[in-house]
Amino acid sequence: MNIFRLLGDLSHLLAIIILLLKIWRTRSCAGVSGKSQILFALVFTTRYLDLFTNFISMYNSAMKLIYLVCSYATVFLMYFKFKATYDSNHDTFRMEFLVVPVGGLAFLVNHDFTPLEILWTFSIYLEAVAILPQLFMISKTGEAETITSHYLFALGSYRALYIVNWVFRFYTEGFFDLIAIVAGCVQTILYCDFFYLYITKVLKGKQLTLPA
C-alpha cells in the first residue's frame, strides 16, 4: 500500500458516500444516471467475487464490502425507493453497447483464461467506461447539480491517483499490470473534459453547465 493508492481509495469511497448521501438526504436522484450506477454495481460484483476466498487484509475486505453495499444501496434507492425522481428520459445511454464489447474484450485480452480472471478483467474494462451514461446524461441535460459534480470529481480523481500509484509501484516494486493501467488511463481520459469544466466553473462557485 502507498499513499497514492490510499488517497485513491479514499477518494473513491468519498465519491460513493457523496452520491448515496445526496440521494438519501434530498430524497431525489435527479441528474444521476441509474445506468452508470448499475454498471458500477456490476463492476464491484464481478471484481470482488474473491472476497471470501482470497483474504488480503482487513482493509481490503472491508472496503470491498463497503463498495458492494453502497453501490447496491444506490441502485436500490434510484430504482425503487426514489424511483419517481429518476430522470429516465435523459438516462438513455444503451448499456449493452458497453457490456457486450467489454465482455468480448475480456475473453480475448486477459492475464489468465480462468473464470475469476476473466470476470476481474471484465470489471476492469467495464469500470473504464461505466461513467459514460452519466457523462452522456449531463451532456443531454446541459448541466449538473453542484453535489453531482463533486461526486464526479472525486470519482475521476480516484483512478487518476491509481495511475500515480502504478507509476510508484513500477519504480519501487517493479510491479505493473498493463490491463489495469491501460483501462485506468482510458477511464481517466474520459473525465478530462469534465475536470476542465469543474476547475474552471464549479471551483469558482458557478453552476456546472455544458456549452449547449
Partner 1 sequence: DMDEEFHDEL
> What three-state secondary structure class fits 94?
coil
Q: Is 3 exposed, middle or buried (0-12, 13-18, 19+ CB in 10 A)?
A: exposed
Three-state SS at 35: helix
Shortest spacing between CB 204 and partner 1, in angstroms: 33
**Identity of the residue, 120 or 198, whose beta carbon is nearer to partner 1 in the bound complex:** 120
The DSSP code for 130 is T
Q: Which residue in the set 4, 9, 98, 138 belongs to the binding site for partner 1 (CB under 8 A)?
A: 9
Under the binding rule (CB under 8 A), the answer on residue 12 touching partner 1 is yes
The contact mask relative to partner 1 for 101-140 (x = CB under 8 A, - = no) is ----------xx-------x--------------------
Residue 47: CB minimum distance to partner 1, A: 8
Provide the sign of the torsion angle of the four alpha carbons 9, 203, 86, 27, taken in this order: positive
Residues 93, 33: contact at Cβ < 8 Å? yes
In the set 40, 67, 125, 198, which binds partner 1 (CB under 8 A)? 67
Give Cβ neighbours of residue 118 (< 8 Å, ≥ 6 apart): 106, 107, 110
Report the distance separating Cα 163 and Cα 184, nearest Å. 7
Contact between 189 and partner 1 per CB under 8 A: no
* The binder of partner 1 chosen from 52, 89, 115, 174 (CB under 8 A): 174
Spatial contact of 101 and 126, defined as CB atoms under 8 Å apart: no
Amino acid at 186: V
- Smaller CB separation from partner 1, 170 or 196: 170
Q: Counting contacts by CB under 8 A, is residue 2 touching partner 1?
A: no
Looking at the Cβ atoms of 98 and 180, the one nearer to partner 1 is 180
163 scored as a contact of partner 1 (CB under 8 A): no
- What is each CA distance from 135 to 37, 106, 141, in whole angstroms? 12, 24, 10
Alpha-carbon distance values, 195 to 48, 68, 161, 209 (Å) = 29, 26, 14, 13
Span 41-60, contacts to partner 1 by CB under 8 A: 50, 54, 56, 60
Task: Please pick, from the candidates 14, 17, 177, 195, the single residue that binds partner 1 as defined by CB under 8 A.
Answer: 177
Identify which of residues 120 and 153 has a Cβ nearer to partner 1 in the complex.
120
Residues near partner 1, by CB under 8 A: 5, 9, 12, 50, 54, 56, 60, 63-64, 67, 111-112, 120, 162, 165, 174-178, 180
